[in-house]
């Protein structure tokens, strides 16, 4: 299939396919017949893998490691990469929960009418809106 058909089949732009080729995630297939590059079902499967991995939050570098030079990774390697991604997401969730708590404290302070502490977001203000003795 041509690059246009490959891109359309997977819901991406031709430029996305070319970008993945420049990053080494997709190989450039040989030219056939009238000079067009002919993409295979293996290329399509690779594009599906890349898109799914991106949808799961993997970076292009992580995806490159997963598809690697061997062109095929074991399910153990993919599971280990996914577990590492889960751990990173867990860290982000903890950070977001702390941020959520701080924002709720700010809302509480602002709703109670304490203009001084509510003004914590004004330029030059100290952003630590926690109450004394509480984190």
Instruction: Tell me, yes or no, whether 79 lies in a domain.
Output: no
Q: What is the pLDDT of residues 44-57, one digit of tens each?
A: 999 999 999 999 88
Instruction: Tell me, yes or no, whether 59 lies in a domain.
Output: yes
Instruction: Tell me, yes or no, whether 97 lies in a domain.
Output: no
Q: What is the pLDDT of residues 101-110, one digit of tens each?
A: 988 888 887 8
Instruction: Tell me, yes or no, whether 57 lies in a domain.
Output: yes
Structure tokens at 95: 């950070």
Nearest residue to 59 via CA among 27, 76, 91, 81: 81
Phi-psi region at 35: left, alpha or beta (left = phi > 0; alpha = psi -120 to 50): left
Q: What is the pLDDT of residues 22-71, one digit of tens each?
A: 998 998 888 887 788 899 998 999 999 999 999 988 999 988 888 865 45
**Number of folded domains in the chain?**
1
Which CATH number is 13's domain given? 1.10.1660.10
Query: What pLDDT does 70 receive?
Result: 46
Instruction: Tell me, yes or no, whether 110 lies in a domain.
Output: no
- Distance, CA of 109 to CA of 118 (rounded, Å): 6
Instruction: Tell me, yes or no, whether 24 lies in a domain.
Output: yes
User: What is the pTM assigned to this prediction?
Assistant: 0.65
Nearest residue to 8 via CA among 47, 52, 58, 65: 47
Instruction: Tell me, yes or no, whether 9 lies in a domain.
Output: yes
Instruction: Tell me, yes or no, whether 39 lies in a domain.
Output: yes
Question: Which residues form the domain of 12?
Answer: 3-73
């Amino acid at each position: 299939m041509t690059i246009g058909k490959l891109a359309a089949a997977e819901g991406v732009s031709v430029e996305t396919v070319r970008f993945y080729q420049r990053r080494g995630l997709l190989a450039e297939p040989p030219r056939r017949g009238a000079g067009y590059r002919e993409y295979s079902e293996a290329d399509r499967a690779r594009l599906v893998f890349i898109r799914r991995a991106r949808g799961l939050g993997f970076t292009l570098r992580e995806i490159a490691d997963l598809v690697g030079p061997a062109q095929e990774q074991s399910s153990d390697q993919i599971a280990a990469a996914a577990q590492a991604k889960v751990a990173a997401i867990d860290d982000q969730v903890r950070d977001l929960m702390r941020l959520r708590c701080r924002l709720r404290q700010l809302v509480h302070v602002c709703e109670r009418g304490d203009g001084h502490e509510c003004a914590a977001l004004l330029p030059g203000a100290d952003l630590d809106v926690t109450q004394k003795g509480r984190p």
